[in-house]
Amino acid sequence: MALWHCAPGAARRTVSLFPDRLPLDYKIYVFGGRAEMIQLHEGRGTAQHRWTQLDRDWRILSRQRSRRSAPANLDAMFAAAERLGAGHDFIRTDFFNIDGRYQFGEFCLFPGSGLDPFDPVDLDDWLGDLWHATASVTASRGVRAGPRSGRCGRPPSPNP
pLDDT tens per residue across span 111-126: 877 778 788 888 888 8
Per-residue pLDDT, averaged over 28-56, amounts to 92
Identity at 156, one-letter amino acid code: P
- CATH class, domain 21-116, is alpha beta
Q: What average pLDDT does the structure give for the chain?
A: 78
In this prediction, residue 69 carries a pLDDT of: 93
For the chain, the structural domain boundaries read: 21-116
pTM of the model: 0.76
Confidence of residue 136 (pLDDT cuts 50, 70, 90): low
Confidence of residue 137 (pLDDT cuts 50, 70, 90): low
- Identify the H or E element spanning 30: strand 25-31
Angle at 65 between CA 64 and CA 68, to 5 degrees: 145
Highest mean pLDDT among 88-92, 120-124, 138-142, 144-148: 88-92
Confidence of residue 74 (pLDDT cuts 50, 70, 90): very high
146 pLDDT exceeds 50? no
d(CA 5, CA 36): 28
d(CA 49, CA 18): 16
**Rounded alpha-carbon distances, angstroms, from residue 12 to 32, 53, 97, 139:** 32, 27, 18, 39
Q: Where are the beta strands (DSSP E) in 1-55?
A: 25-31, 34-42, 50-55
